[in-house]
Structure 1
């Protein structure tokens, strides 16, 4: 059950722009407050409840974190709870910021 869909930086950018993805940042609130990808929803892994995630019809849930490690844990927890979320952005914040993409604070 290690199958997951990997989204590239460009796919995340396009998905956010078209609203076809819901980017869920599973970092802790203090990390999210310092910097996050614009449009991301914070659902921390430490208190993770996939039931808190409410994508719009047709939206794909894509998990993000700092480096792509916690995203896999979020996928596993989602599956264990019966949710079909299997997509993540393995580059996450490290790749996003290294590419000079915009970030938000707060």
Structure 2
């Protein structure tokens, strides 16, 4: 995990493996900031959707029980949203390095779309 301190707030950048481990242990809330269309096509099972276009830092839950980790397609939008959360006064926030592309490259399980039927389907790790 990489950390960066900006004006007293801490931005953490987690690896895909760190996110999966913490998510599997129910220690984090994983928030997908991609568009609804991207999320419907493929997403990490159990991740919540809060598109960047509609992001409101004040509506985020507290982090007393679980840390918030954002993710997107590549890591760019999630870092932007994490920095916006910091600007809104959240002192500790995280995002996943590499986004969904990194998750898939690491062969982590996710919900994809069956191209023959259009139905969601689990895509398991290889």
TM (norm. structure 2) is: 0.74
Could you report, residue by residue, the CA deviation over 1:33-84 in whole angstroms, capped at 9, with x for unpaired residues? 1101111111000110123332563211011000000011111211222223
4+ runs deviating over 3 angstroms: none
Q: Unaligned 5+ residue runs, structure 1? A: none
Alignment of 1:16-31 (within 5 A): 16-31=23-38
Q: Unaligned 5+ residue runs, structure 2? A: 1-5, 113-119, 121-126
Return the structure number with greater strand share: 2
Give the conservation status (yes or no) of the 8 Å contact 1:26–1:45: yes
Number of equivalenced pairs: 106
TM (norm. structure 1) is: 0.87
Q: What is the RMSD computed on CA atoms of the aligned residues?
A: 2.0
Larger relative contact order (Cα-Cα within 8 Å, sequence gap ≥ 6): 1
